[in-house]
């Protein structure tokens, strides 16, 4: 009798808080609110993808610049070591890839035009992110042991620059790994509307 | 007149092959044939996933055994080099992971019971495959430069065993990368029936 949530008493409806109205609204506008929620989620995913690609661009550009300027004569030249050459090459590739992807995404935000179908695009993004992430972690982890061994002997500007370039490559890898997770999630949440 | 495929002549129907009947069947049983096609595709995907995980299990077990038996005294002990220890550790992890996943899949085929919901399972598989693939390529590519440098000096049973263990780790990585692609595809083709 004193329970305001008891729906079998219509005379108590005016005293109860309005959950039944809310339930009714949900029942009536469920499809629309679903679509709006899906749009919001897709927008959030797109922004997250753009942010991680932006981070990846910045980090791989840093890795590229630090490694390319790492020439101090004698044995302190990065191009005397194949690991460092590998890091440099992959940093350049990753800079190009993430920069182009971010540009394409920004362009798509502004013009709402798409070059590929949405499904193909998600597949291409996912594959590209995966392959670039594999290359980044491969290059970074191949250069770690050499740098460790050098730093046991001497700790100078050359080893410090190498270490920071490798760290940047690792950060770029982490950004791209998150981006590849997001593109995998986008693949799984295709809207077939 | 002499063309048997001309459909505007009903007196020629008995001489023509029966494409209209086939079209009619497709129109009538479209939903059912769709579902059957989806089942077949899911079954194929599951078998593909199981096969790649089986390959990954075999290759990482080989990498583990070859690396663990790679002790020939003096400087020719794998446990004197941190890269080789890393390869061994990741090979053990990957053997356990792919073996357990393959066992779970076989068990699921036989009993048709599932511990997780299908969606969560696809997510867990995808994440696990990704992380293990990253670890495998990281360990393999960190051990490559050391082995290369050793083989420049001397080519003996120790360097040969290391090289073959690294090659097995790479093969395990490729299997797991394909498996992670398949789990990504499975994520994207969830049946919400």
Nearest to A126 among B133, B142, B184 (CB): B184
Q: What's the mean pLDDT in B71-83? A: 85
Could you report the per-residue pLDDT of B109-138, keeping only the tens digit for each? 777 666 667 777 778 888 889 999 999 999
Count CA within 13 A, CB hemisphere, residue B149.
Answer: 11
Q: Which residue has the higher pLDDT, B2 or B110?
A: B110
Q: Is the CB of residue A50 less than 8 Å away from at least one CB of chain B?
A: no
Least confident range of A48-52, A114-118, A173-177, B144-148: A114-118
Q: What is the mean pLDDT of chain B?
A: 80
**Is residue B79 a part of any domain in this protein?**
yes
Residue B57 located in a structural domain: yes
pLDDT (average), residues A15-42: 64
Rounded to an integer, the average pLDDT of B86-104 is 92
Residue B176's alpha-carbon distances to A30, B163, B168, in angstroms, are: 41, 20, 12
Residue B94: pLDDT band by 50, 70, 90 thresholds?
A: very high
Q: What pLDDT does A18 receive?
A: 47
Quick one: tokens of B97? 């992971």
Which of A79, A52, A74, A70 has its CA nearest to residue A136?
A52
Closest partner residue to A187 among B145, B148, B188, by Cβ? B188
Record: contact A137-B139, CB cut-off 8 A: no
Q: What is the dihedral of CA A131, A133, A138, A144, to 10 degrees?
A: 170
Q: What is the pLDDT of residue B12?
A: 44
Cα of B143 to nearest chain A Cα, Å: 7
Q: Is the pLDDT of residue B75 over 50?
A: yes
**pLDDT of the residue at B193:** 40
Check if A130 contacts B (Cβ < 8 Å): yes
Task: Show the domain range for B115.
Answer: 17-188
Residue B114: its pLDDT value, please? Answer: 64
Write down how long chain B is: 193
Q: Which residue has the higher pLDDT, B34 or B23?
A: B34
| Cβ–Cβ under 8 Å, residues A60 and A91 | yes
Q: In whole angstroms, give the CA distance from residue A39 to residue A76.
A: 53
Candidate from A27-31, A156-160, B41-45, B173-177 with smallest mean pLDDT: A27-31
Contact assignment for A145 to B82 by CB distance below 8 Å? yes
Q: Is B187 on the interface with A (CB under 8 A)?
A: yes
Does A180 lie at the interface with B, CB-CB under 8 angstroms?
Answer: yes
Number of domains in chain A: 1
**Closest by Cβ to B146, choosing from A123, A145, A184:** A145
Q: Does residue A120 fall inside a structural domain?
A: yes
**pLDDT at position A172, please?**
94
The verdict on residue A2 lying in a domain is no
Residue A189 has pLDDT above 70, yes or no: no
Q: What is the pLDDT of residue B169?
A: 93
According to the model, what pLDDT value does residue B185 have? 77
**Residue A63 C-alpha, separation from nearest chain B C-alpha, in angstroms:** 18
Q: B12 lies in a domain?
A: no
- pLDDT, averaged across chain A: 80
Q: Is the pLDDT of residue A181 over 80?
A: yes
Whether residues A130 and B187 touch (CB distance < 8 A) is answered with no
Chain segment A86-145, per-residue pLDDT in tens: 999 999 999 999 999 888 888 877 776 666 677 777 788 888 899 999 999 999 999 999
In this prediction, residue B43 has a pLDDT band, given cuts at 50, 70 and 90, of confident
- B190 and A CB contact within 8 Å: yes
Closest chain A residue to B191, measured at CA? A188
């Amino acid at each position: 009798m004193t329970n305001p949530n008891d729906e079998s008493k219509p005379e108590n409806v005016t005293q109860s808080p309005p959950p039944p109205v809310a339930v009714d609204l949900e029942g009536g506008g469920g499809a629309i609110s679903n679509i709006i929620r899906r749009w919001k989620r897709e927008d959030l995913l797109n922004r997250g993808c753009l942010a991680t690609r932006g981070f990846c661009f910045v980090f791989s550009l840093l890795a590229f610049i630090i490694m390319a300027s790492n020439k101090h004569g004698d044995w302190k030249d990065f191009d005397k070591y194949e690991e460092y050459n590998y890091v440099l090459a992959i940093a350049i590739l990753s800079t190009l890839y993430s920069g182009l992807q971010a540009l394409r995404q920004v362009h798509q935000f502004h013009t709402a035009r798409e070059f590929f179908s949405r499904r193909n695009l998600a597949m291409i993004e996912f594959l590209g992110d995966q392959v670039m992430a594999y290359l980044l972690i491969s290059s970074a982890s191949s250069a770690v042991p050499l740098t460790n061994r050098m730093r046991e002997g001497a700790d100078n500007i050359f080893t410090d620059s190498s270490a920071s370039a490798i760290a940047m490559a690792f950060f770029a890898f982490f950004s791209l790994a998150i981006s590849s997770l997001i593109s995998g999630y986008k693949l799984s949440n295709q809207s077939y509307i």
